[in-house]
A and B are shown apart, each in its own frame.
Chain A
Amino acid sequence: MSYFEYLAEFGPRFVDGTIITALQTVLAAVLAIFIAFVAGLMRMSPNPLIRGIATVYIEIFRGTSLLVQLYWIFFVLPLFGITLEKFTAGFVAVGMNLGAYGAELVRGGILSVPRGQWEAALALNMSPTKRMIRIIFPQALLNMLPPWGNLLIELLKGTALVSLISVSDLMFEAKQINSTTFLSIQAFGTALVIYYVMARFAITPFMRWLERFMSRKLGRA
């Protein structure tokens, strides 16, 4: 069977898997960004309890394996009465894990804004909320974009683990096709190339565009 024939037969399943992977990536990214901002800001709170909660969250999700977290969310949580559908469990696990890494990026981005910016905003009598939203955040956001690009690629690759709880993503389809055809090079080679293309030709250009867009908006271009 030529690779062309192979693709003709299994191409649609790779496409289906790719769509699920893309969906998992987008949903996990939205969740990760949300968690990162909430936990990142909590980490900077003057209240030790709020700071503590965020620190514990970040420590647990950064300090343990994503696969173990995925199994916990899918297999263990139902024992406590929380049952998630496998598709949901998949992106929730990936999002919660990468969100913990993102929280540190958010915190670092905010800390990277020079102290003088806080002081100037305070000297203009801006409220703490306005200082954060209008002065610090726009600058922090631009500073943290490059590491976010890396994190989103990590996140995309991390979604491959959801195949282990039978979410029919790209990796799941590749394994299924492999187990019926035993054409391992074609199955996993195709998956490899698709993951690479998604990272290199979707996420990376998108982040570059976002950086350029933000720089222009912030007058730095």
Chain B
Amino acid sequence: MSEDMSAYPLRLEGDDVPMVRFMNVTKSYGALVVLDSLDLDVAAGEMVSVIGPSGSGKTTVLRMLMTLETINGGVIYVDGQPLTHMEKNGVLVPASEKHLRKMRADIGMCFQHFNLFPHMTAVENCMEAPVHVLGLSKKEARERSLELLQMVGLEDKVDQHPSRLSGGQQQRVAIARALAMRPKVMLFDEVTSALDPEVIGEVTNVIRELVDKHNLTMLMVTHQMGFAKEISDRVCFFFGGKIEEQGSPDELFGNPQKERTQQFLSAVMEAG
């Protein structure tokens, strides 16, 4: 725990500062090392897919970036600023709750099980944080939310509670809810894994549209290899808490170099 923090810059500067940088990030639960000295950059506007077997640490990457998990070593930077740490007397110290709240404003996340607020309608779900975190007026927040719900194709469901919506519809509301905070980075954690096959398309279509029309930086953990191949700028294959291999979708899926990548991909392709 007595890591020498002077090895880490107080902020990232220069022309090509990545939107997200994991620098030597380690995460462990007791003796179990989930992520081992991870280095990963995501450029602004880039769509990076994270694939790998369960237990490889891929979901942990997103959860650390969302500050749902603390880290045991290293530093995460967002938009050049340290996320997990903050500057104090010229050195990096673990981030205070106040610092985390400032930094979290740039990050949005969608979950496997949607996690919509069941006591609020679709539009209320979207308005909640803009009103109670950003301090928007209800009118402004409602306009913003209706626009987003229209974008995800749910303009006729705005006043429904989540219990009245299908899984695909709930996940689309969750995407609109996260976007209503205008994040710079969006995290998708297996957002189609809990969905029935016939509604997966309505969610992937929304993500596809985000990639095409918006300049968001996105990190997506997924089991849908076809979708990852189609929309990613880069794919990272995680194994045993490390990035085993990464590259463009064509490289990684078409011509994987590492044996573990080949094994994983052939196993996944066989499963269909």
Q: Which A residues contact B (CB, under 8 angstroms)? A: 114, 116-117, 119-128, 130, 134-135, 138-139, 142, 217-220
Contacts and interface: CB of A to CB of B under 8 A. Distances in A.
A22 B120 CA distance: 36
Contacts of A130: 132-133
B133 A134 contact: no
B68 interface: yes
Leading 8 A-B pairs by shortest Cβ distance: A219-B161, A120-B115, A124-B129, A218-B119, A116-B115, A123-B109, A125-B104, A138-B119
20 contacts: A116-B115, A119-B115, A120-B116, A120-B174, A122-B66, A122-B104, A123-B104, A123-B108, A124-B128, A124-B133, A124-B181, A125-B104, A126-B133, A127-B133, A130-B133, A134-B128, A219-B121, A219-B164, A220-B119, A220-B163
B133 A120 contact: no
Given A124-B128, A217-B119, 11 more contacts: A117-B117, A120-B117, A120-B174, A124-B133, A125-B105, A128-B97, A130-B133, A134-B128, A134-B132, A139-B118, A219-B163
Contacts of A138: 119
Nearest to B126: A124
Given A134-B128, A134-B132, A123 B119 contact: no
A123 B68 contact: yes
Contact of A127 (B101, B105, B113, B120): B101
Interface string B94-105: 000100010011
Contact of B118 (A124, A134, A220): A220
Contacts of A125: 101, 104-105, 129, 133, 181
Contacts of A142: 119
Among A126, A128, A142, chain B packs the most CB atoms within 10 A around the CB of A126
A220 B121 CA distance: 11
Contacts of A218: 118-119, 161
A116 B129 contact: no
B100 to A, nearest CB: 9
Nearest to A127: B101
B76 to A, nearest CB: 15
B243 to A, nearest CB: 24
B111 interface: yes
Interface of B: 66-68, 97, 101, 104-105, 107-109, 111, 113, 115-121, 128-129, 132-133, 161-164, 174, 177-178, 181
Nearest to B106: A125
B60 to A, nearest CB: 13
A114 B104 CA distance: 22
Contacts of B163: 219-220
Among A125, A127, A142, A218, chain B packs the most CB atoms within 10 A around the CB of A125
Contact of B119 (A114, A120, A127, A139): A139
B129 A126 contact: yes
Contacts of B105: 125
Given A123-B108, A126-B132, A130-B133, A219 B116 contact: no
Nearest to A116: B115
A122 B104 CA distance: 9
Contacts of B117: 117, 120-121, 135
A123 B178 contact: yes
Contacts of A116: 111, 113, 115
Contacts of B113: 116
A123 B66 contact: yes
A117 B115 CA distance: 6
Among B118, B121, B181, chain A packs the most CB atoms within 10 A around the CB of B118
A134 B104 CA distance: 19
Contacts of B67: 122
Among A123, A130, A134, A139, chain B packs the most CB atoms within 10 A around the CB of A123
Among A117, A124, A126, chain B packs the most CB atoms within 10 A around the CB of A124
Nearest to A138: B119
B48 to A, nearest CB: 19
Given A220-B118, A220-B163, A119 B129 contact: no
A219 B170 CA distance: 15
A138 B128 CA distance: 14
A108 B164 CA distance: 27
A116 to B, nearest CB: 4
